[in-house]
């Protein structure tokens, strides 16, 4: 496995760790909204904001610790792991801004759901008062209104639960990629550094990230992805929309200009794995639970993709070492090599047992699918 495979695995494990505490903090806000029948007092709002922000700060500290190769012990703080005051301030600012964004989003979801549930109607009855006035059966109305708010909170929670993996992905991706850039800039402070956008190119990347694959800029310049500016994958500080950041699995790689003008790749740190890493049924990169094998990979001349082989348990890296040659490796060992032209594979060499893993079919589907994709775009 390469360091980029290790980084992807670490990111995925960190995402799972964030989902549970963040879900608890956000659902607590929904419960307060429900009890207040649509009203959250200022003091309660501040308390929930601080709780959500605290969850994010602990997560960012854990992400930085893992990306720097340290096995986290649970006591990490932003100040103890950040690469300096500016990096710490950036992470705190992100936690604050993301917390406000989440609370505004939940308020919007709650009010939208509430508006879709009709206000209960109860019959008006004659009052027993002397003036013959009208009164409402307040007990019936109150019970029905409580049920209305309860149903609203339930709908908002289901919507939040469906988005939790995407939220955890965004908060992990942004913190991890920001750390990589900050670390490279500090370690090679006197060099001319370039960063390159890398998509997994496994056929599941969004079109704009497919186009961005291989884009290279100076380390302090933004990438242009789908017309939006991003400092790194997952970045929203320059106004990138969620359509370019949510559920993103892209990563940055780096190089510098040597003394003779040559380009030198910058090796990244090998991350640690979170101490509480847990895999659950259905995990896309779990090792205990079989997952769906990769159907095909989109090729663009420099593709490097993480793939699941035919047994649902073996993970490999498919890479184009040149525009017409594919090499598949498992744990750093080449198990397949193929040459292709247009829609056809012209030659293929497989290691013993590789054919049983469906590598040959995966390569042929990828070559044929990429050719058809290119033809449709012409």
> Is residue 130 pLDDT above 60, yes or no?
no
Q: Is the dihedral of CA 286, 288, 289, 291 positive or negative?
A: positive
127 vs 65, 118, 130, CA distance in Å?
Answer: 69, 26, 8
Residue 45 within a domain: yes
Residue 4 confidence (pLDDT): 82
From 182, 216, 234, give the residue that closes a domain.
182
The CA distance from 340 to 325, in Å, is 6
pTM across the whole model: 0.77
If asked whether residues 56 and 93 sit together in one domain, one would say yes
If asked whether residues 251 and 222 sit together in one domain, one would say yes
> Is residue 173 pLDDT above 90, yes or no?
yes
Per-residue pLDDT band for 109 (boundaries 50, 70, 90) equals very high
Structure confidence by residue, pLDDT tens digits, 232-259: 999 988 999 989 998 898 999 999 999 8
Per-residue pLDDT band for 202 (boundaries 50, 70, 90) equals confident
If asked whether residues 131 and 40 sit together in one domain, one would say yes
Residue 286 within a domain: no
Structural contact between residues 254 and 184, judged by C-beta atoms closer than 8 angstroms: yes
Structure confidence by residue, pLDDT tens digits, 272-328: 876 544 445 444 443 444 467 888 887 878 787 778 888 877 888 888 888 899 999
> Is residue 27 pLDDT above 80, yes or no?
yes
Q: Residue 340 belongs to what H/E stretch?
A: strand 333-341
As for how many domains the chain has, the answer is 3
> Is residue 127 pLDDT above 90, yes or no?
no
From 127, 154, 182, give the residue that closes a domain.
182
From 235, 265, 295, give the residue that closes a domain.
265
Mean local confidence (pLDDT), 326-340: 91
């Amino acid at each position: 496995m390469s360091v980029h495979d290790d980084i992807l695995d670490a990111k995925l494990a960190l995402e799972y760790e964030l989902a549970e505490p963040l879900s608890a903090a956000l659902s607590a806000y929904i419960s307060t909204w429900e009890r207040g029948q649509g009203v959250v007092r200022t003091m309660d709002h501040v308390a929930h904001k601080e709780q959500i922000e605290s969850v994010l700060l602990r997560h960012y500290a854990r992400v930085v610790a893992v990306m720097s190769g340290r096995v986290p012990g649970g006591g990490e703080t932003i100040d103890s792991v950040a690469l300096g005051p500016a990096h710490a301030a950036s992470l705190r600012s992100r936690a604050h801004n993301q917390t406000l964004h989440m609370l505004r989003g939940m308020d919007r979801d709650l009010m939208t759901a509430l508006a879709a549930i009709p206000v209960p109607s109860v019959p008006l009855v004659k009052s027993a008062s002397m003036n013959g006035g009208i009164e409402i059966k307040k007990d019936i109305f109150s019970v029905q209104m409580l049920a209305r708010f309860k149903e609203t909170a339930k709908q908002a929670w289901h919507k939040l639960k469906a988005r939790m993996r995407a939220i955890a992905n965004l908060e992990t991706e942004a913190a991890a990629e920001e750390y990589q850039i900050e670390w490279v800039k500090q370690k090679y402070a006197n060099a001319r550094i370039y960063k390159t956008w890398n998509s997994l190119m496994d056929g599941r990347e969004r079109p704009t990230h497919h186009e961005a694959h291989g884009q290279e800029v100076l380390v302090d310049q933004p990438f242009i992805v789908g017309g939006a500016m991003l400092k790194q994958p997952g970045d929203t500080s320059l106004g990138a929309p969620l359509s370019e950041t949510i559920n993103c699995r892209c990563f940055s790689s780096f190089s510098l200009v040597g003394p003779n003008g040559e380009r030198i790749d910058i090796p990244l740190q090998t991350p640690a794995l979170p101490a509480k890493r847990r895999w659950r049924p259905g995990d896309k990169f779990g090792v205990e639970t079989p997952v769906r094998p990769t159907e095909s990979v989109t090729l663009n001349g420099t593709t490097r993709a993480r793939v699941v082989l035919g047994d649902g348990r073996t993970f490999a890296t498919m890479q184009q070492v040149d525009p017409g040659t594919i090499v598949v490796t498992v744990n750093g060992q080449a198990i397949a090599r193929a040459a292709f032209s247009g829609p056809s594979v012209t030659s293929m060499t497989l290691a013993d047992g590789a054919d049983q893993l469906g590598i040959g079919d995966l390569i042929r589907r990828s070559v044929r699918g990429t050719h058809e994709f290119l033809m449709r775009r012409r």
